[in-house]
Amino acid sequence: MTDLESHTPPAKGNPAPDFELFTHDTEPWHLSEHLDRPAVLLFFPGAFTSVCTTELNTVNDDLDAFDNAHVVGISTDSPFVLAEFRSVNQLEFPLLSDHDASVCAQYGAKYDGNFTPMNLDRVAKRAAFVVDQDRRVQYAEVLENAGKQPDFGAVKEVLQQIRK
């Protein structure tokens, strides 16, 4: 398996792969530096697409319900595209650029040359992960169908359980 081929998603209770990506502002964002509270990692296929726009706006409109977690969106778009997408949609959480899909692959959230009939590669699958302060995965959902949304109710329930 090459580094860019998808791995099996980390299971609940297992360590979350640590990573550093660049934000929409081209600033480094390192997972292990954001574990003062739980982190919600939302992988999405592409900025300015209808389902991704709906997903991220849904989260943004209900951000307080995510129990003060660090919420980040992750796609293979460039930081510059993500900056415009974030601005247009007035998103209040960071968007991270995984331009080479290496983090997507580590999380089992990468299409391997099979996205759409065009066989696009290096595209993030829609996925949601909750990582606790010990860098353990407490929730993992990877969707094969890019038209589906993660179960945000389940994500919020897990966040509430972590806080107890």
Both structure tokens of 110 = 């990468």
- Are the beta carbons of 131 and 31 closer than 8 angstroms? yes
Nearest to 110 by CA among 71, 144, 160, 79: 144
Active site residue 52: yes
Is residue 82 exposed (0-12), middle (13-18) or buried (19+ Cβ within 10 Å)?
Answer: buried
Residues composing the chain: 164
**Catalytic-labelled residue, pool 16, 41, 47, 52:** 52
- Catalytic residue numbers read 52
